[in-house]
Structure formats: structure tokens, C-alpha cells
């Protein structure tokens, strides 16, 4: 069911991932998958384009998109969402910014680090101070340190920008962990923006618990979700802000149009197709990514035995600690010597040497070649 793109197809389709690198470079950096989109999505898009559906989307909340997302959340996460409280927005990055500007109380933003690199700047863009909640690179398991979270709130932060499942930690937070976060946030009157773009991408049959599915979170949280990452449709520009509080919802829909008016009609069409008709494809994708993760572990054992990788519980983005090989910037070494592009760890954790983020959403053959090239490059001093 998952169709691998050939190199020529991938180069034509994924103009960022494949187009931003020289022809002899294997790309394993930006979070896009080298797979053809799910057939229900392409079919619906073809029908929409043939019908001349290239104008503005329907305005406002709920509608078909709200119904489709609520159905998907019920089936995939056993989570009841009010379809009316699903508000479209252009993408997750914009959704997080809108949440900060429209919903979150004034104050600093706690950001778990390493974290999705563009979001390192989001607090400053919103005119707020960033409080880094840093995971020790030597920690056995990447966890949210609740004592330090509380200390940041005492120090002036009022918002937690949570990413869950986490990129690049690869963690699926348990309900108990999220309850711990909720308790600290409630104690300090803090607000949570929960970026759940990777929610459908859990591996090994793990369950994603939406933050809003945890009791007692409705009054202090918004989720930013999208079909874009799991279904490879980021270029179509449609994400959703989900609330479970009439008051937060009212504030979102009453925000001036200029804050939130640029999601696309084709993005809505593709998202509805993904949410309504994508379950079987998604099952196949998760099985493929789980196999890719297992293959990566075998490849690391063979070619990069000194690499450290925490268990990858979700996403197709592996976080590799290559400090044992002695390069400050192994991504630069890999590109120069190995002609393979992985993402530098310091983009996600400023100042952190020796780490890379590697995208495994490709064919087994390409993943094998990626690791072989990476190993050949960094194994030399």
C-alpha cells in the first residue's frame, strides 16, 4: 500500500527535500516522506482541481473539516472532539503563533529542548521570553522535568509549548506524564499549546494521548493538529486549532481575519480525504516506519556501533548521538565527505555538538545507503 517514489519521482515531487540538495546527495533531512500520497487524497485532489476548486476555502469553523477531524480523533485516539471547535489555519507553525497571540496569557514560553528548530524563534516573534527546558543529552530517557517546569513558571513563564509526540525526542508521552504536566500547569495558572502534528505517527502500536483528552485540561489548552505530516501533504497548507472550551473557541473565531485567513481549499479537501479515508494507508505507513526503525537499529549496530539512539516511539525522525566519533558538526562532515544530508543537531539544541536528526521515511535500500554514507564519513577523524 505504501508506494516508494523512485529517485526521479522524489526529485520531481519533493522540491524541498530533494531539490535543495545537489544531484549526488541523498536527502534525509527535512520531515517529508519519499512515498506517494495515499490514493484517496490524490483522487479527491484531482476531482477538486478538475472542478475548478481553486478559490478561497469556506470561512470559519467546524464544517466538513471539523466533522472529519472529530471522526479521525475518535477512531485513532479514542478522543471526543466537538467538530464546531475545530478551526482551520494555514499550518501548524501559524497555528502555534495564533495560539500564543490570541489565547495564551502574557508571560514567557517554556520550550522543551532539543525542539523543532523553527519553534526556537517563536517566543521572540510573539514578543515573549523563551525558557528552555533542556533534556540532558546523557539522560537514558528524554523526559519533561516537572520540577524545572515549575521553576520556569515561578520565573515568569506562563505558557508551555508542548510537542507531543515529540520531535526530535521521538517520545510518546504517557497519560501519567501528561497528568503531571497538567498538575504543574494548573498550579501555576499556565497555558499549554500542544503541537500534535506527529500524533498519527506512533510506532509499535503505541497510543497517542491528546493533551485535551486528559481530564482537567480544557480550560488551559489548545491543540494544533494537522494531517500534513502523517500524510505528506504539508505543501497544501491546512492545519487545525482544536479547543474544548467555548470561551477559548470564541476568542479564536473572534480574532481579526488578518490573523488567520490563509489556509487553502485544496488543503481542506486533502485533509478531509486523509481523515475520512486514510486509516488503512496510515496503518500500512506505521508498519513501514516501524520496520524502517528496526532496520535503522540493525544498520547502526553494524556501521555506527558507537552511536546512541533512544527508543524511537513515534515520528520518522531519529535523533542520533554521534559524539563518540569526535565531530562537532557530524551533519556537515556527512554532507561534505559522504554526500548525504541529515539535519544538524545544533539546529534543535543550540550549542549541542555531535548530534544529527535522520529521516527514515524512505525505502530500505535508501536508508541502508544513508547510514552507510554517514558511517563512512564520520568514522574517520
Grid coordinates given for 112: 522543551
Q: Are 45 and 264 in contact (CB under 8 A)?
A: no
Terminus-to-terminus CA distance in the chain, angstroms?
A: 42
Smallest distance from the beta carbon of 111 to ligand PLP, in angstroms? Answer: 11
Angle between helices 39-50 and 265-277 (to 10 degrees): 140
Smallest distance from the beta carbon of 60 to ligand PLP, in angstroms? Answer: 20
Angle between helices 265-277 and 63-77 (to 10 degrees): 30
Between 116 and 275, name the residue whose CB sits nearer to ligand PLP.
116
Beta-bridge partner residues of 195: 163, 224
For 314, which DSSP code?
Answer: B
d(CA 334, CA 17): 16
User: With 0-12 CB in 10 A as exposed, 13-18 as middle and 19+ as buried, what is 126?
Assistant: middle
Smallest distance from the beta carbon of 154 to ligand PLP, in angstroms? Answer: 27
Smallest distance from the beta carbon of 273 to ligand PLP, in angstroms? Answer: 17
Between 35 and 325, name the residue whose CB sits nearer to ligand PLP.
35
Between 228 and 264, name the residue whose CB sits nearer to ligand PLP.
228
Smallest distance from the beta carbon of 141 to ligand PLP, in angstroms? Answer: 19
Between 120 and 340, name the residue whose CB sits nearer to ligand PLP.
120
* Beta strands 157-163; 130-134: pairing state: unpaired
Between 195 and 321, name the residue whose CB sits nearer to ligand PLP.
195
For ligand PLP, the binding residues (CB under 6 A) are 31, 91-93, 116, 163, 167, 195, 197, 226, 228-229, 234, 239
Between 33 and 352, name the residue whose CB sits nearer to ligand PLP.
33
Smallest distance from the beta carbon of 325 to ligand PLP, in angstroms? Answer: 26
Amino acid at each position: 500500500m505504501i508506494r516508494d517514489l523512485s529517485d526521479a519521482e522524489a526529485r520531481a515531487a519533493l522540491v524541498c527535500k530533494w531539490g535543495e540538495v545537489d544531484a549526488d546527495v541523498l536527502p534525509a533531512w527535512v520531515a517529508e516522506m519519499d512515498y506517494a500520497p495515499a490514493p484517496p487524497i490524490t483522487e479527491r485532489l484531482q476531482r477538486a482541481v478538475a472542478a475548478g476548486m481553486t478559490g478561497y476555502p469556506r470561512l470559519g469553523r467546524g464544517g466538513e473539516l471539523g466533522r472529519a477531524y472529530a471522526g479521525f480523533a475518535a477512531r485513532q485516539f479514542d478522543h471526543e472532539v466537538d467538530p464546531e471547535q475545530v478551526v482551520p489555519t494555514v499550518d501548524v507553525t501559524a497555528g502555534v503563533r495564533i495560539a500564543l497571540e490570541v489565547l495564551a496569557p502574557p508571560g514567557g514560553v517554556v520550550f522543551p529542548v532539543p525542539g523543532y528548530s523553527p519553534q526556537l524563534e517563536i517566543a521572540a516573534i510573539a514578543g515573549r521570553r523563551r525558557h528552555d527546558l533542556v533534556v540532558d543529552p546523557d539522560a537514558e530517557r528524554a523526559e519533561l522535568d516537572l520540577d524545572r517546569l515549575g521553576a520556569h513558571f515561578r520565573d515568569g513563564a506562563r505558557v508551555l509549548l508542548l510537542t507531543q509526540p515529540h520531535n526530535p525526542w521521538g517520545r510518546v508521552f504517557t497519560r501519567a506524564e501528561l497528568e503531571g504536566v497538567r498538575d504543574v500547569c494548573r498550579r501555576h495558572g499556565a497555558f499549554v499549546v500542544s503541537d500534535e502534528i506527529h500524533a498519527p505517527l506512533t510506532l509499535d502500536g503505541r497510543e497517542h494521548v491528546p493533551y485535551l483528552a486528559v481530564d482537567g485540561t480544557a480550560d488551559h489548552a489548545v491543540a494544533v493538529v494537522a494531517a500534513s505530516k502523517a500524510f505528506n501533504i504539508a505543501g497544501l497548507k491546512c492545519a487545525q486549532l482544536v479547543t474544548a472550551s467555548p470561551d477559548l473557541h470564541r476568542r479564536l473565531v473572534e480574532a481579526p481575519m488578518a490573523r488567520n485567513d490563509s489556509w487553502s481549499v485544496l488543503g481542506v479537501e486533502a485533509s478531509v480525504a486523509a481523515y475520512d479515508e486514510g486509516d488503512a494507508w496510515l496503518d500500512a505507513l506505521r508498519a513501514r516506519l516501524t520496520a524502517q526503525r528496526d532496520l535503522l537499529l540493525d544498520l547502526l549496530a553494524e556501521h555506527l556501533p558507537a552511536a546512541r539512539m533512544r527508543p524511537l516511539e513515534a515520528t520518522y525522525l531519529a535523533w542520533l548521538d554521534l559524539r563518540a566519533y569526535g565531530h562537532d558538526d557530524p551533519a556537515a562532515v556527512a554532507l561534505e565527505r559522504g554526500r548525504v544530508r541529515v539535519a544538524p543537531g545544533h539546529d534543535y539544541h543550540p550549542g549541542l555538538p555531535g548530534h544529527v536528526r535522520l529521516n527514515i521515511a524512505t525505502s530500505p535500500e535508501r536508508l541502508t545507503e544513508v547510514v552507510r554514507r554517514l558511517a563512512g564519513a564520520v568514522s574517520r577523524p
